[in-house]
Amino acid sequence: MDLQDFINRLDQLGELRRVDGADWDLEIGTITELGDERGGPALLFDHIKGYPSGFQVVSNLIATPGRMAAGFGFPPGLSNIELVRRIKDRFKDLQPIPPVYVREGPVLQNVYRDGDVDMFRFPTPRWHEADGGRYIGTGDMVVTKDPKDGWVNVGTYRVQIHDKDTLGLYISPGHQGRLIRESYWAQGKACPVAVVFGAHPMAWMPAFMPLAWGVEEYRIAGGLMGEPLKLVAGEYTGLPFPADSEIVVEGDCPPPEVESRKEGPFGEWTGYYASGARSEAVIKVKRVLHRNNPVILGCPPLRPPASGSGNYVLRASNVWYEMERLGIPGIRGVWDMRAGASRLITVVSIEQKYAGHAKQAAMAALVGPDGAYASRFVIVVDEDIDPTSDEDVLWAMATRCDPATSLEIVRGCWSTPLDPTISPEKRQQGDFTSSRAMILACRPFHWRKDFPKVNRASDELRAATLRKWATVIPAQAGIHKTG
């Protein structure tokens, strides 16, 4: 159950396309972007210009609901909302499984130390035209250890190649990896770091989930995979990483006053270059390990509706889970609009139970670890609205939302330097906060029974008509299925 196993599985499912001869400079990134926009398969790049066969890059790995379902081991053919429900229930019932340490693994097949380190050994793409360099860390796992309590954190943060043994590491404010890194710096120490540039999606997925402080991602990964994750301890840092990783680096992240470099710009998940280029921390690489025929897991942020990661599915399941933990009743579904950059527009479908229920649901969607970060709009709709259908949601907003009474604004919420709406003045002050809008696109609770009847044939009449006139009625376009 490593990355290459999963790639082979996608190939068997007809969900993989092999691409030979692409250039690492922009071609891989643009092919990835165009493929994602068109709902294409995962892409495995080989014979990359200037590199030997076997040094590969994979992208759009779990960018569609179907491939996300395959990663979780779910059957094909699920509706989008059923997929979200199943992922939410998997997290709800998940039992963390501690990892086990081993002495051998594919990642140890090739080891380079100190002066033999050369990050340009790998066909790292320049993903977007205005990027400030080549980014090997997009679908990565950045491993650190809290110096006080000793727990291991794994996060997904962007990593740029500066030179053969120096990497840039950008971590947005508030993320756990940044807090751990700063705790070393406060003591005048460099932060030990290991970075994995390719692992099975279930091992990688917890790295970009908003887990509570002190919860170890490797344990969550074991629970998702149903068996302990096999780890090896790095010889330089002692930090653990999966034994079947594709590529791993170990090194030190010194305090920025000791060494820093200009990092970026980089096209981010909002679809903009909002954070520009600025001085950021570096990793001084002391060890490079890789298995034979290594595959870089590429997950570049793309301008929506392309996503590169399928994170909109995972985030919807997280928000649904968070709302259930808060005790919100009547939730029929949660969805993140792809056009909303995977987190900026969240849709919640509920069966209203009492006055104020819709507003309570909207507020709950904004307070959990995933819902709180860098969100923008929460739209609450009735149970007859499919939250995965943009057309249904817009119709509900147009006909059930009175702007004077159905909109609420919350200010001063947690955002990110990647937010394009944060003004230059706020950036200079380090004020990375923004507002949220709650849109209640439901029938008003107090007179919902008197609300005009929907002009649509009943489900029973539609089904009977389809059976009788199947040869006359065209197949429905845009059915939301996972495979």
- pLDDT, tens digit, 9 for 90 and up, residues 173-195: 889 999 999 999 999 999 999 99
Question: Could you tell me if residue 266 is inside a domain?
Answer: yes
- Rounded to 5 degrees, what angle do the CA atoms 181, 183, 184 make? 70
Question: Could you tell me if residue 22 is inside a domain?
Answer: no
pLDDT at 446: 92
Clarify whether residues 275 and 129 are in a common domain: yes
Q: What range does the domain containing 220 cover?
A: 98-298
pLDDT at 212: 87
Question: Among 32-46, 332-346, 389-403, which is the least confidently predicted range?
Answer: 332-346
pLDDT tens per residue, range 440-476 = 999 999 999 999 998 888 889 989 998 898 888 887 6
Domain boundary among 268, 298, 328: 298
Domain boundary among 264, 298, 332: 298
Question: Could you tell me if residue 85 is inside a domain?
Answer: no
Mean pLDDT (the chain, rounded): 92
pLDDT at 481: 40
Please, are residues 32 and 22 in contact by the beta-carbon 8 Å criterion?
no
pLDDT at 340: 67
Total domains present in the chain: 2
Please, are residues 143 and 181 in contact by the beta-carbon 8 Å criterion?
no
Question: Could you tell me if residue 104 is inside a domain?
Answer: yes
116 band by pLDDT with thresholds 50, 70 and 90? very high
Clarify whether residues 376 and 410 are in a common domain: yes
Clarify whether residues 352 and 419 are in a common domain: yes
Question: Could you tell me if residue 127 is inside a domain?
Answer: yes
Clarify whether residues 200 and 327 are in a common domain: no
What CA–CA distance (Å, rounded) separates 113 from 118? 10
Question: Could you tell me if residue 226 is inside a domain?
Answer: yes
Q: Report whether pLDDT(419) > 90.
A: no
Q: Report whether pLDDT(5) > 90.
A: yes
pLDDT tens per residue, range 271-297 = 888 778 999 999 999 999 999 999 999
Clarify whether residues 341 and 226 are in a common domain: no
Q: Report whether pLDDT(479) > 60.
A: no
Clarify whether residues 356 and 273 are in a common domain: no
Clarify whether residues 322 and 220 are in a common domain: no
Question: Could you tell me if residue 390 is inside a domain?
Answer: yes
pLDDT at 338: 84
325 band by pLDDT with thresholds 50, 70 and 90? very high
Provide the CATH number for the domain around residue 145.
2.30.110.10
pTM for the full predicted model:
0.87
Provide the CATH number for the domain around residue 403.
3.40.1670.10
Clarify whether residues 350 and 287 are in a common domain: no
pLDDT at 422: 86
Q: Residue 208 carries which DSSP code?
A: G
Clarify whether residues 415 and 268 are in a common domain: no
Q: Report whether pLDDT(149) > 90.
A: yes
Q: What is the DSSP string of 429-459?
A: HT--EEEEEEEEES--GGGGGGSPPP-S--H
Question: Could you tell me if residue 134 is inside a domain?
Answer: yes
pLDDT tens per residue, range 61-107 = 998 999 999 999 999 889 999 999 999 999 999 999 999 999 999 99
pLDDT at 482: 41
